[in-house]
Amino acid sequence: MRIIVTGATGNVGTSVLRKLRAEPAVRQLVGVARRRPPTTPQKTSWIAADVARADLAPVFSGAAAVVHLAWAWHPPREEETRWATNVSGTTRVLDAVRRAGVPVVIVVSAAAVYTPRDEDGPVDEQAAVGGVPTSSFARHKAAVEVVLDHFEAHHPTTRVVRLRPPAILKREAAGAVRETFLGPLLPSRALRRGRLPVIPDVRGARLQAVHSFDVAEAVRLALLRPDARGAYNLAAPPVLDARAVQLAFGGRALRIPRPAARAALDAGFRLGLQPTEPGWLDLAIQAPLVDTSRARATLGWAPAFGATAALQELLDGLAAGEPPVLRPPETPGLTAGTSGDAPPAPVAARP
């Protein structure tokens, strides 16, 4: 099989390439990214391209599947720019899938797509999709789901798989996490192996997480199972709230009222003191937990890493000053092209 992976140099993309290189059924991997990496591992070739600009149909031609992972986190204050990659880019990728006749597309969506609800129990894949409206990440992921709905309705013979993980962690993700969420607020020397100095405790805030390699394993299983289609929630136990994190990593829990925590994030974001928009706190409080029964029962997926172990890896990477996986992009290797003769799928209104 010849497999195309967009966003191949990012947190999940590097894990997917590593996982699929070890899969005997995969003959060739083509990594698509805005920046061409300096090394070329076994079975792998690279295409430097931006999904928001390049005509990818020639790249996709002859592929057995496209794994779409490309996602823009920066610049954090320019949502329109990120939308061009995240939502419009996904539309263009799916149009290239159509024109190239690729039979399978696997998209890493997010657990953040689910609409907030009053009950605290986990939701399955049939729950309403809409996301937390104050989170640009959730809005973009929910809009991508609209794009996928449209594509599936008009191209039922293409097998579409949507993976919906929560926070995706590993050691190598530390640099990107620092750039996207922490900025200079948490110096590396403040972290010691196995410990956190202070744990913010905001009522109702909690996090599900999964290791990047476990997401990659779900991609592999979805690729190899011809009956796999539709959405699959992914997450590893335990749920990480302030108490669970304190028990695992020590440190002092600092209780912060919700209004004060959000106001501090909002002020810091507006003043450029830190890169975390307050919508991330809203997401941690309002987004429902997800039930992973379907992935376990029908894909045969089970996480090899617990959420605590994945967080430990991330903290180790932060303490060691791990650099970002994805550096700033070079000039795309493919020029911008037309998207073919069919109109693009409609999406939610831009921000």
pLDDT tens per residue, range 227-263: 999 999 999 999 999 999 988 888 888 999 999 999 9
User: What's the pLDDT at 341?
Assistant: 33
Alpha carbon distance 82, 87 (integer Å): 8
Mean of the per-residue pLDDT values of the chain = 88
Tokens of 153: 């309705």
DSSP state of 111: G
User: What's the pLDDT at 187?
Assistant: 59
User: What's the pLDDT at 114?
Assistant: 97
Alpha carbon distance 211, 333 (integer Å): 31
Closest residue by Cα to residue 208 from 238, 229, 249: 238
Alpha carbon distance 162, 278 (integer Å): 27
User: What's the pLDDT at 84?
Assistant: 94
Residue 347 has pLDDT above 50, yes or no: no
Residue written as token pair 């929560």: 166
Alpha carbon separation from 138 to 26, 60, 143, 250, 323 (Å, rounded): 32, 28, 8, 31, 26
Helix (H) or strand (E) holding 107: strand 104-108
| CA 233 from centre of chain | 13
Q: What is the pLDDT of residues 76-99, one digit of tens each?
A: 788 899 999 999 999 999 999 999
Whether 63 and 341 have beta carbons less than 8 Å apart is answered as no
Mean of pLDDT values over 290-301: 97
DSSP state of 320: T
> At 174, is the pLDDT very low, low, confident or very high (cuts 50, 70, 90)?
confident
Q: How do the domains of the chain map onto residue ranges?
A: 2-319
Task: Write phi, then psi, for 323 (nearest 5 degrees).
Answer: -75, 160
Total H helices, total E strands in the chain: 12, 12
Residue 141 has pLDDT above 80, yes or no: yes
> At 117, is the pLDDT very low, low, confident or very high (cuts 50, 70, 90)?
confident
Percent of the chain with pLDDT over 90: 68
Residue 215 has pLDDT above 70, yes or no: yes
Tokens of 33: 């990214």
pTM above 0.95, yes or no: no
Residue 329 has pLDDT above 50, yes or no: no
Which class is domain 2-319?
alpha beta
> At 125, is the pLDDT very low, low, confident or very high (cuts 50, 70, 90)?
very high
Residue 280 has pLDDT above 80, yes or no: yes
In DSSP terms, which residues pair with 31 in a beta bridge?
5, 46
Mean of pLDDT values over 117-141: 92
Closest residue by Cα to residue 172 from 35, 70, 325: 325
User: What's the pLDDT at 115?
Assistant: 96
Mean of pLDDT values over 122-141: 96
Closest residue by Cα to residue 66 from 49, 84, 81: 49
Collapsing DSSP to helix, strand or coil, 86 comes out as helix
Closest residue by Cα to residue 295 from 221, 197, 185, 191: 221
Mean of pLDDT values over 335-346: 37
For the chain, give the longest Cα–Cα distance.
59
Whether 106 and 65 have beta carbons less than 8 Å apart is answered as yes
User: What's the pLDDT at 184?
Assistant: 59
Question: Which of 133-142, 148-157, 260-269, 338-347 is least confident?
Answer: 338-347
**Helix segments in 225-332, DSSP class H:** 242-249, 258-270, 279-286, 293-294, 307-319
User: What's the pLDDT at 333?
Assistant: 44
Closest residue by Cα to residue 176 from 350, 316, 326, 45: 326
Residue 332 has pLDDT above 60, yes or no: no
Whether 40 and 33 have beta carbons less than 8 Å apart is answered as no
User: What's the pLDDT at 346?
Assistant: 45
Alpha carbon distance 322, 338 (integer Å): 39
Angle between helices 212-224 and 11-21 (to 10 degrees): 50
